[in-house]
Chain A
Amino acid sequence: MVSGEKPGVSKPLEIERLVKRFGDLTAVNDVSLEVRAGECLGLLGPNGAGKSTLIRSIVGRVIPDAGRVAVFGAAAGSTEARMALGWVPQELAIYPRISCGENLGAFGRYYGLKGQALKEAIQWCLHWAALEDRSGELARNLSGGMKRRLNMAAGMLHRPKVLLFDEPTVGVDPQSRNRIFEMIAALRDEGAAVIYTTHYMEEAERLCEQIAIIDHGRIIAAGTKEELVRGAFGTRSQVLARFSGSEAAIGEWTERHGGRMVDGTAEFTIEQAAEIPRLLDDASRAGLELKDVSLRRPNLESVFLHLTGRELRE
């Protein structure tokens, strides 16, 4: 992935062959990853893919059955690792009945901060999360987006070097989502190593240079977006065509030509744009009436579909 590490210096985060089982379910299956300073790794996968279990293994809240997690060389769960990690869980893990400032004070103290250092950390977090004017407001009275930002700020008080964001934009309006992206990008640009889990392809594309696609606990592909698309589709493009008429007839025709139906749209992978007229002529001969057609480069959604046969949000 990203180069430039000094020899002999521990990497921010290394995961080697991690396995975690819950009974018969293998939630994390032989996962190996590493994240470097200033890098944001997007962990992309549908719900239940094992993203949160992987994050909890890094934090030390889940004991793996096999494998190793090292944070700057320290084992997961050790004090050194805890102090280097900033975890933003998927749930709103804040105290609803106390104010924003008091929440930040509480979590800051849990990380050993006190006195002036604590005050400065609180101020920094309030500023970072754009909650300066809400310091005295009870957490439960904040809007959904503000609660999310407070939830994030509560994990940043000790200025960790490795940040773990577990679906931080769940249930957030677009404006707050943009604000959250800016907050994370700012930390990444300051040199933090970031893992960002999501099942929204657009978020991973926007924020992360490196993307790992996880399904059924296993990393099924990893690399930059371009590497992933090239690996799955080569130089091919996708044609998306919508027809009017019987769904059964459209589906049968699409399948006959090696395509698949996604949300009522026929998708085909082609090598060259010249293949499009032939395809449409054939549709016309089959009695299908074309409504619209478009050509695009495959995206991460296409990659996931290609690799798993399922959509990301299934």
Chain B
Amino acid sequence: MILNVARTALLGLRRDRGALALSFALPIAFFTVFALIFGGSRDTTPRVTLIVVDEDKSEASQELVRALERDNSLWVHRTPVTKKGEPSGPEYTAATAEAAVRAGDAPVAIVIPQGYGQNPVAFGPSSKGAQIQLLYDASDQVAPQLVNGLLQKAAMTSMPASLAEQGMKVSGEYIGGYTAEQTRRMQQNLADLRAAVARREAERRSGTAPGDDEGAGGGVIAVNRRAVVGENKPNPMIAFYAAAFGVMFLMWTSSGTAGALLDEAESGTLDRVLSSRVSMSTLLAGKMTFAILLAFTQLVVMFVFGWLVFRVDLPHHIPGFVVMGLSTSFAVAAFGMLLASLCHTRAQLAALSTLVIMTMSVVGGSMFPRYFMPEAMQKAGLLTINAWAIDGFTKVFWRDLPVMDLWPQVSVLLAVGVALFLIARRVARRWEVA
């Protein structure tokens, strides 16, 4: 009898070929997506974009910048990125670098101030020299830590002469000064060390140098860290997660709402409605309007809850929230309509929704921030509604940008919504007449 029950269930699944195919495609698709993100092939380590401002232009500061430029973990920019073929603009200044971080062009900037080269290494009683300023966007929890660590690494591996000189200076102060002979030998050794560093730099440029992974340590360069975005946020990541998870759940809701079309088609209600004065376009538009309102209401509830419980600053961001909320709801509702119109049964819709929504949520940054992902995956994220919605909400709640600055995200979301709706309308022709 148990086998009979199982056999009947199997027959049902076999008849619904779409659901059958998706039930096997689903795990494979998820496996592929996660393998791409976390599988970690050699070149997939995400690089951090770093803006560097060298106000010192000393030998030590230039050595430091060169060491950072050589590091495979960083994209170092001294000038704003320009389109291919265009001449680079003026070098970043401390002010323009800070503005760039605020605007989200880069998660971190360092400013090497004038006078840094006189005391590049921070230890001993003379460690009161100019400190490197590390300006960062607190929404990215990885990049500032990474840059800080790489700064220390650069000091250890690229500035041995500076380290030695500073160490000797400090020792001299502790022991009451060196003899003339000691000072002469010390200068000689430092010169040799600098020559060795220069030689190694030349070898590296000619491609004959070994890897630069030797050396480690921390804290030898004094860094003054300062969050230039989100510094005064009471609960920094909550707005991000409200948007990230919100978009994902909106997708589920919209897909479920649009799934009513399948129920109505199966029960014959759709036929009856279409035999009245309601056309298919009107019907889809009506369903989509409901889905938009439901999605927007969900967002409102979620952010009000976030405001009341987690101190998300909703009251000061209402215009941006409304603009982003409606744009996101529009795109997500159209997405749901398309999914439903592509499917023939609820089982197919459930499987397809799971596949597409989970994939988009992973790639688009709803599960975890996109800056964790490899470069290619970050770019792929831009093909998802999630990424654009999250970017928009981040601009509103994190960067405090004005509504006008949301135009790229709003434009993309609206365009995506219109396109998906038109495709859904085209696919829905199968319901119109036989």
Residues of A whose CB lies within 8 Å of any CB of B are: 22, 56, 59-63, 77, 79, 82-83, 85, 87, 89-96, 107, 110-112, 154-155
Interface flag for B211 (CB, 8 Å): no
- Give the 10 A-B CB pairs with smallest separation, nearest first: A91-B268, A110-B276, A93-B268, A93-B272, A93-B269, A59-B275, A62-B434, A63-B433, A89-B268, A110-B278
Which one, A62, A82, A85, A92, contacts B267 given CB within 8 A? A92
B interface size (C-beta, 8 A): 13
A107 vs B274: C-alpha distance when bound (angstroms): 11
Known: A22-B434, A56-B434, A93-B272. 9 other contacts (CB 8 A): A60-B275, A61-B275, A61-B433, A82-B275, A83-B277, A89-B268, A91-B268, A92-B268, A110-B276
Q: Which residue of A lies closest to B274 (CB)?
A: A61
A63 vs B275: C-alpha distance when bound (angstroms): 13
A111 vs B434: C-alpha distance when bound (angstroms): 22
Q: How far is the CB of B43 from chain A (nearest CB, A)?
A: 53
Q: How far is the CB of A127 from chain B (nearest CB, A)?
A: 21
Q: How many A-B residue pairs have CB under 8 A?
A: 53
B433–A111 contact, CB under 8 A?
Answer: no
Provide 9 A-B residue pairs closer than 8 Å at the C-beta atoms, listed in order of the A residue.
A61-B274, A82-B275, A82-B277, A83-B277, A89-B271, A92-B267, A92-B268, A107-B272, A110-B276
Contacts of A60 in B (CB 8 A): 275, 433
Which one, A61, A82, A94, A111, contacts B269 given CB within 8 A? A94
Q: How far is the CB of A259 from chain B (nearest CB, A)?
A: 43
Residues of B whose CB lies within 8 Å of any CB of A are: 267-269, 271-278, 433-434
A87–B434 contact, CB under 8 A?
Answer: no
A110–B433 contact, CB under 8 A?
Answer: no
Which one, A61, A112, A154, A155, contacts B434 given CB within 8 A? A61
Q: How far is the CB of B386 from chain A (nearest CB, A)?
A: 31
Contacts of A92 in B (CB 8 A): 267-268
Chain B CB count within 10 A is highest, among A83, A87, A110, A112, for: A110
Contacts of B274 in A (CB 8 A): 61
Contacts of A155 in B (CB 8 A): 272
Q: How far is the CB of A159 from chain B (nearest CB, A)?
A: 13
Q: How far is the CB of A283 from chain B (nearest CB, A)?
A: 48
Chain B CB count within 10 A is highest, among A59, A61, A82, A85, for: A61
